[in-house]
Structure 1
Amino acid sequence: MWFQLSSLRSILNVSTALRQAVVRTPWYAKRKSYKVLFWREITPLAIPIFLENTCVLLMGVLSTFLVSWLGKEAMAGVGLADSFNMVIMAFFAAIDLGTTVVVAFSLGKRDRRRARAAARQSLVIMTLFAVVLAVVIHYFGSEIINIVAGEATPEVKGLALTYLELTVLSYPAAAIALIGSGALRGAGNTKIPLMINGGMNILNIIISSILIYGAFSWQGLGFAGAGLGLTISRYIGAVAIIWVLMIGFNPALRIPLKSYLKPLNFGIIWEVMGIGIPASIESVLFNGGKLLTQMFVAGMGTNVIAGNFIAFSVAALINLPGNALGSASTIITGKRLGTGQIGQA
């Protein structure tokens, strides 16, 4: 009995000592401010970003779902082409991170002109790059599909090529939507990008369904309607982003249409690319690994191709909460550094 009481007393003494040690740490005195930062600043930014990223990811997944009634070959074709498209989207998303950081930092310094210039020039450069990229990929589409599809059946390769040739036309629109959304997030506005990307998904479902399966007496376009519907939806979203920036819904980022014709400031461009390019290399390598796996399973049958793409899409959803918290932290850190609050950053 005495031994048990002695052991209990020792445990309590250790617990008390640990508690006192924690209380003496600098962190303990600031714990309340950390909670306030998380719930009042990070969370309100992270939740819309998480939902927005979910909408971006679902664009391709919804196309797979919409063609599922056309057969497993159609699902496999969309899966193969979208595995390649995801690598391109990952590159655009990484450059959008550079835009977000520069815009947030500039607004933290209360330099609206520089923030607008960063957003405007990122949009111009990435749109031009996306146009060139779309032309190159469209021209070499057959070779790309032959590499990506590997030992897949000729029917699946043909469907994948059709989908790829239609969706590459949406690259400029996707670049505008992603870069514009990144600029708005850098200004602290996460709700507008969420609404636009959510609207694009709804439009994708409606337009693609009509184009694939028809309406009233029209028979529809069949499989090609999936790629065309996604492309149309992205262009509508791109127009919405340009319109939001043009009318100055966020006064800090009011960008008139004629300002896109102004000469480029390469100092700002290199600043954006200095952040975006390293991030894009990391992102492309990560998604390239997924594409490599898809290439390995391409010869295992149509069912395996479709299943692998769906599994990767679900796995990507799991990563979104962490990505959203990272994006929210990036915005807050950029603004704090811009205002000179290095310790709080």
Structure 2
Amino acid sequence: MSALPLTRVPFEPLPAAREPLRVALAGCGVVGGGVLPRLLDRPDVVLVSVLVRSPGKIRSPEPPPGLVVTDPAALLAREPDVVIDTLSDASVSLALIRAALSRGVHVVSASKQAVAADVDGLSALAAATGVTLRYSAAVGGGVPMLEAVQLAREMGPIRRIEAVLNGTVNFLLNRLATGYPFEAALAEAQAAGFAEADPSADLTGRDAAAKLFLLSRAAFGATGRLPDRVEALGPDFQSGAEPVRQLAVADCAGGQITLAPVAGDPLFADLADAGNAIRITLADGRVLSRTGLGAGRAPTAESVWADLTDLLTSRVGAGADGAEL
């Protein structure tokens, strides 16, 4: 097991910059609402705009009214240096990311569906315009999974990835194992902020599939692709005596998302609540693993903040090279 540290300090101070960073926040729901207070509280960051779908909706926290817009074009018209994308609509998110990168605006995205839909095209666009696209927040919530894969690749070729990538499904499986009815478990996950009002992306496996695809591309390059098999979780699921996880597995030949028993694997069997975990096996047999919360406001907002911190560290606006992550 690698002893190399790979942790995040929640909402660590941003490094000093030449001028305050102009940031536009797209989305003010579970994730965006977690990032908003820090953006407002930082003297080295100027929040210039907040994109929402329903301006009259009650939110906690509430964005300043003068910053609220309902049109992505209006968001970009405020001339941000960075767009933080926490939108739940993948099509709107993808269009916004493309528009921002095309204008030479850096992007931090938590939308795995949007990034996975065109990761190569978005990366090429970022490189062409000299800006940076970062999306570690799209994979793993508070677990630095993409960073772990990057570290593993620096150590040598990767043979295999095994991971629990969806905190919502993990929460549900834990509740179902204790005898909860499916609908009651789902309602609890939604009340806790682990599941969206529309949980279909989690339950069908689309969320985990997009995340595994992004991890596969980071691990195996152009040979990484969408999983060949994706198993859904529904009300007909029967919990047995062994712990079951929504297990994502990939190697250079492909991948799959299955509901698999994991009794003999403590890394996955002991994952509580909305936990996520990843195990990366290198070709020489060395193993790296990481665990942490994979759903909810705090862990994902922490990951967004880590990406923003990285942008400040690399001197935003001073020749970023379209790097991913």
Same fold (TM over 0.5): no
Who wins on radius of gyration, i.e. which is larger? Answer: 1
Higher helix share: 1
- Larger relative contact order, structure 1 or 2 (CA cutoff 8 Å, min sep 6): 1
